[in-house]
């Protein structure tokens, strides 16, 4: 006798239904990611802060500069340019971008607990690991977009509203000159070069500084000891100016009217990397602590206090521990075209400025960053999978 299963057309067997149930998978679905994204986006206070810092601060600053320059172009310099790009990137977007990314991460890591929704998520049967991992693309979609918009505004203004003349050491100099071109220009503007450009050797006595602090016919500049004072000829003055220009050319060649395309691309990727680090570490810390306030304070302390100290102070027997700070590793990956160095003061990229940072190879810096990203992801996911519902 043949027994036929008691099924109806279109019905699904229990084994097939069990195999199609993906709630236990650790891979987050698109719906889970979209839900996490909407939960974060609907927090108006948080989103207002993120937009105000990443987009509002640079936009207001540049808008004021554009307005002042339009009203009185002789008193106020151009709104954009290479120098403004450097300071906005390093001082505003880099530091504050990390802080707001960390704030978003701490919020995403603790929002279910603080809102009392963690138990409801667990009883759905979804994998806790998937619930945690879904927060990563959702949060990055927010913070990366905001940082990209703020950086695009900075790049646009700094390129299209750049000055037409380069200001080097307080002297208006044509930009992009070759060494020969700078020497020829210096010979025709000897007084400005002698009195404005830096020079690490004594200038022969008798070479005047017409633009010095005492006006025309003012004192000599760095007269050489024991040299005979006298009225120099125009040929002698031009020779001194050419010598100064030749010595300063390597420094001058690092300054531009506006940032180059390659520099903007590298800087944008570097800022997004900093936002990634801030969000991932904040997410793991928020999940580990189970609440946001203390986690955000700890992230601010890391960025504003611990990182600058560990990056510049050479502490004996703790040098390897200092190299393990992620902020130092990110500083060593800073694009070389920036003239404002992270935690190292202003000035063109060079040996004297770079030596302020604790030495670290780029390979070690990359390994430190990967260790922080992977380590804090594991810690945050572990705490979520082991927390009592």
Closest to 173 measured CA to CA, from 192, 152, 194, 147: 192
Instruction: Determine the Cα–Cα distance for residues 36 and 138; give it in Å rounded to an integer.
Output: 6
Instruction: Determine the Cα–Cα distance for residues 247 and 39; give it in Å rounded to an integer.
Output: 58
Q: Which residues pair with 203 in a beta bridge?
A: 223
Where along the chain do its domains lie?
24-163+258-386, 166-252
Q: Which residues pair with 340 in a beta bridge?
A: 346
H or E, element range at 17: helix 14-20
Cβ atoms of residues 147 and 97 within 8 Å: yes
pLDDT in tens, the chain (389 residues): 555 555 555 555 555 444 455 666 778 888 888 988 998 898 999 999 999 999 999 999 999 999 998 998 888 888 888 889 998 998 899 999 999 999 999 999 888 777 767 666 666 667 888 888 999 999 999 999 999 999 999 999 999 988 877 777 778 888 778 888 888 888 888 878 887 788 776 666 666 664 443 333 334 444 445 444 456 677 878 888 888 888 888 777 777 788 889 999 999 999 999 999 999 999 999 999 988 899 999 999 999 999 988 888 888 888 888 889 999 999 989 988 786 666 654 444 433 344 478 888 899 999 999 999 999 999 999 988 887 76
Instruction: Determine the Cα–Cα distance for residues 207 and 222; give it in Å rounded to an integer.
Output: 9
Region of 290 on the Ramachandran plot (φ > 0 left; ψ -120 to 50 alpha; else beta): left
Neighbouring residues of 270: CB distance < 8 A, sequence distance ≥ 6: 330, 333, 334, 335
Phi, psi of 175 (to 5 degrees): -90, 155
- State both tokens at 99: 């802080």
DSSP state of 94: I
Task: Scan for tokens 């929002």, then name that residue.
Answer: 111
Closest to 93 measured CA to CA, from 26, 28, 146: 146
Cβ atoms of residues 246 and 179 within 8 Å: yes
What is the pLDDT at residue 6? 53
The model's pTM is 0.78
Ranges of beta strands (E only) in the chain are 166-168, 171-173, 340-341, 345-346
What is the pLDDT at residue 257? 81
What is the pLDDT at residue 138? 94
């Amino acid at each position: 006798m043949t027994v036929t299963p008691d099924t109806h057309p279109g019905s699904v067997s229990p084994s097939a239904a069990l195999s199609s149930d993906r709630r236990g998978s650790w891979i987050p679905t698109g719906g889970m990611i979209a839900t996490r994204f909407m939960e974060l986006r609907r927090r108006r206070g948080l989103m207002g802060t993120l937009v105000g810092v990443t987009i509002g601060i640079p936009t207001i600053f540049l808008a004021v500069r554009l307005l002042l320059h339009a009203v009185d172009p002789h008193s106020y310099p151009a709104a954009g340019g290479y120098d403004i790009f450097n300071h906005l990137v390093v001082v505003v977007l880099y530091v504050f971008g990390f802080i707001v990314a960390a704030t978003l991460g701490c919020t995403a890591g603790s929002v279910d607990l603080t809102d009392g929704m963690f138990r409801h998520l667990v009883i759905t049967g979804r994998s806790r690991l998937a619930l945690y991992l879904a927060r990563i693309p959702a949060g990055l979609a927010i913070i990366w977009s905001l940082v990209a918009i703020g950086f695009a505004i900075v790049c646009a203004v700094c390129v299209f509203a750049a000055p037409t003349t380069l200001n080097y050491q307080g002297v208006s100099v044509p930009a992009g000159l070759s060494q020969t071109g700078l020497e020829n220009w210096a010979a025709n503007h000897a007084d400005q070069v002698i009195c404005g450009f830096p020079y690490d050797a004594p200038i022969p006595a008798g070479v005047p500084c017409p633009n010095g602090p005492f006006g025309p016919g003012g004192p000599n500049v760095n007269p050489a000891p024991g040299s005979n004072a006298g009225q120099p000829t125009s040929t002698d003055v031009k020779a001194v100016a050419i010598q100064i220009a030749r010595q300063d050319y390597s420094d001058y060649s690092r300054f531009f009217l506006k940032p180059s395309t390659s520099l903007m691309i590298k800087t944008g990727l570097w800022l997004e990397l900093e936002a990634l680090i801030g969000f991932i570490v904040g997410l793991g810390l928020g999940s580990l602590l189970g609440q946001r306030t203390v986690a955000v304070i700890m992230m601010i302390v890391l960025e504003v206090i611990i990182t600058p100290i560990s990056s510049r102070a050479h502490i004996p027997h703790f040098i390897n521990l200092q190299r393990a700070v992620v902020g130092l590793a990110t500083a060593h990956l800073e694009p070389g075209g920036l003239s404002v160095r992270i935690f190292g003061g202003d000035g063109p990229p060079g040996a004297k400025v770079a030596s302020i940072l604790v030495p670290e190879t780029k390979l070690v810096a990359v390994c430190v960053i990967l260790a922080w990203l992977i380590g804090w992801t594991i810690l945050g996911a572990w705490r979520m999978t082991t927390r009592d519902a």
